[in-house]
Amino acid sequence: MKLKINAYAKLNLFLDILGRRDDGYHEVLTKMCLIDLTDDVTLCVTDGGGVTGADSDNTAYKAAELFLKTLGVKRRVDIKITKRIPVMAGLGGSSADAAAVLRGLNTLFDEPFTLHELMQTGAKIGADVPFCVHGGCALCKGTGTEVAEIFPLPDCVFAIVKPDFDCSTKEAYALYAANPPPKTQRHEEKIYNVFEKLYGNPEIEKIKADFMKLGASGASMTGSGSAVFGVFAGVRQAEKALSGMDYTQKFIARPVGATLCGRP
């Protein structure tokens, strides 16, 4: 059995940290949407056992291993990933790959798990995986694993820039723990990212300002960074904005609905 499936990146349209939980994790509130910037994930299932094609610490490997264990079957799963989503950018590339593996294997094994069950499995792999399995645009709570409310997203186009530096999620949360910013009034309908306040990075602020000058209706960093996006009405406006920005990694993307992610 063989299947090629898209792994969709995500953007955080809103991201705030509500505090630290008793279990050591942080309570977050985030509005996310999937976009059509993708990795390609190819799965091949044969007789035998084990997962090949990815390192054991890779989220895609963990997803395949956990899927087989949960299903209670022994098969060999070979994973091939063609990367397009930048790493350490806040675009959820590793979560997207894990979600694609879960969705793909569920298809190859004739849908043994419901969407909710796949999301529960994904939560054991990473905070963004359940949303990446779910798709669409949603408000997520808890550690990010609880998809609380679904939102329709107006038709728009995202221009995305990945600066020439990476951001570590672990280091970002450590920065928050060491110096949490003052609490702000939350407006989930607005674009906001708490990590921007923590970083105070002039390059990120400049990219945001440039997007706004070039006609974006809003701009923000996504996740723990370092990618920054601007929201535009159409492709032409987004392309024009990116044309004058001197960065190697630049992308145009649209929101992706749940249907395109393999859901009815």
Q: Which amino acid is at 250?
A: K
> What residue ranges in 146-237 does DSSP mark as E strands?
146-150, 157-162, 192-193, 218-221, 228-232
Two structure tokens written together for 38: 């993708």
Among candidate residues 39, 97, 128, 162, the one labeled active-site is 128
Judge whether 10 counts as a catalytic residue: yes
CA atoms within 13 A of residue 87's CA, in its CB half-sphere: 6
Q: How far is CA 19 from CA 2, 24, 197, in A?
A: 43, 10, 15
The number of angstroms, rounded, from the C-alpha of 129 to the middle of its chain's C-alpha atoms is: 8
Closest-CA residue to 81 (of 67, 95, 68, 71): 95
Q: State how far the Cα of 121 lies from the Cα of 133, in Å rounded to an integer.
A: 10
Among candidate residues 10, 31, 62, 208, the one labeled active-site is 10
Judge whether 55 counts as a catalytic residue: no
| Residues catalogued as catalytic | 10, 128
